[in-house]
Amino acid sequence: MTRIRLHPSGRLVEVGAGATVLESLEKAGYALPNNCRAGACGECKVKVLEGRFDQGFVMDMALAPDERRQGYGLMCMAKPLSDELVIEWGTADAKPKLFPPREGQRFVVTDRIVRTPRIVELRLRPLRDAMRYWPGQYLMLGDPAAGVPLRSYSIANAPRNDGELAVQITRAADGLTSAWAHDTLLPGTRVAVNGPYGTFIGDPSVDTPVLCMAAGSGLAPILALTEAALRRSYADPVTLLFSAATADELYDRGLMAWWEARHRNFRYRPTLTRATPADARALHGRIPALLPTLFSDLARHSVFVAGSPAFVDDCVAAAKSLGAQPGRIHTEGYFPQSPPQTPPAGQLLVQRQAP
């Protein structure tokens, strides 16, 4: 049996046939951070202390040659080759906390709502059990047997009793999966879903003001986190800043208005980056530049940011300059997920020996 040993907790995780380290940890309920699941973002990087693994094809920007030499690996693509792989991850009392993801869960598309010229929202209801997930997590959609690669999409609603999930899908240029979802997942279609995945989740026990910043369909996980917080009568201020290029890319304004009317601690501020807003409440400009005009001190805030990697980086830098604490900043960057082509020679195998 192949297994992963977590250091320093010593906990053991069994590895299924052909599974990556990340998949094995998730199946056991461990929340190893991850995002692209394709060796492109570097979120799942850990140090391998002992054992051999096949790293697969990953990008140098996600795992630099120097980091490889120091023993780091990207666990979303790494498959153990030795009977035991020891990785440095978690605390001494590491405990599982995620719901194990399941593949091939059958859903029916119950509704299809055009949110913007490029974003469509699909409502999916399970044929059997509801998928258990934390707000902020994502699922994977696609039809690999038909040549449509699996892609990750954040779940845009907090868990519901009927198990309905909302996903908001941006039509990407040359995006096979997004075109398939836009054009063929019509109401009534059956679809297989894998999930849940990801660690962009709020801590239900936090007791701080919350600042959420989103751009494009980065709004989706923010919607789920905000809905969950408001639903449990969160008392501290919750502010949502949403950036769009033009007014027709602002969506879910009705829901925002309802939340503002119903929850006095919730504040929504949209901003347009490429057009002058007609709505007096909307702002003009990029969120990182606007942030100091809206907040003087973020030292007590929990900060959630979702959007393109550049948007996330700029928002995080702006939040830190206002005193936001790194331990309270949570991010979800949406990376392009082009499938790897031919692995370069020498990139497949990484080996670490016991010290």
Q: How far is the CB of 235 from ligand FES (least distance, A)?
A: 35
Binding mask 44-83 for ligand FES (x = CB under 6 A): x-----------------x-----------x-x-------
**Which residue's CB comes closest to ligand FES?**
76
Among the listed ranges 33-41, 115-123, 299-307, 313-321, the one in contact with ligand FES (CB under 6 A) is: 33-41
Q: Indicate whether 154 belongs to the interface with ligand FES (CB under 6 A).
A: no
Give the three-class secondary structure for 298: coil
Hunting for tokens 């790897």 — which residue is that? 340
Give the three-class secondary structure for 270: strand
Q: Indicate whether 37 belongs to the interface with ligand FES (CB under 6 A).
A: yes
Q: Indicate whether 35 belongs to the interface with ligand FES (CB under 6 A).
A: yes
- In angstroms, the Cα distances linking 288 to 105, 209, 325 are 39, 19, 16
Token pair belonging to 173: 């240029």
Hunting for tokens 């879903």 — which residue is that? 193
Q: Indicate whether 43 belongs to the interface with ligand FES (CB under 6 A).
A: yes
Q: Indicate whether 178 belongs to the interface with ligand FES (CB under 6 A).
A: no
Q: Indicate whether 137 belongs to the interface with ligand FES (CB under 6 A).
A: no
Residue of 205, 270, 274, 213 whose CA lies nearest to 238: 213
Among the listed ranges 36-44, 263-271, 282-290, 316-324, the one in contact with ligand FES (CB under 6 A) is: 36-44
Q: Indicate whether 212 belongs to the interface with ligand FES (CB under 6 A).
A: no
Q: Indicate whether 42 belongs to the interface with ligand FES (CB under 6 A).
A: yes
* Amino acid (1-letter code) at residue 300: R
Binding-site residue total for ligand FES (CB under 6 A)?
13
Q: Indicate whether 39 belongs to the interface with ligand FES (CB under 6 A).
A: yes
Q: Which residues pair with 54 in a beta bridge?
A: 79, 349
Rounded-to-integer distance, Cα 269 and Cα 290, Å: 11
Q: Indicate whether 21 belongs to the interface with ligand FES (CB under 6 A).
A: no
| 66, 46 contact by CB (below 8 A) | no
H or E segment to which residue 331 belongs:
strand 329-333
Q: Indicate whether 152 belongs to the interface with ligand FES (CB under 6 A).
A: no
Among the listed ranges 42-50, 156-164, 166-174, 179-187, the one in contact with ligand FES (CB under 6 A) is: 42-50
H or E segment to which residue 241 belongs:
strand 238-244
Q: How far is the CB of 43 from ligand FES (least distance, A)?
A: 5
Provide the CB-side half-sphere exposure for 105 (13 A, CA): 24
- Binding residues (CB under 6 A) for ligand FES: these are 34-37, 39-44, 62, 74, 76
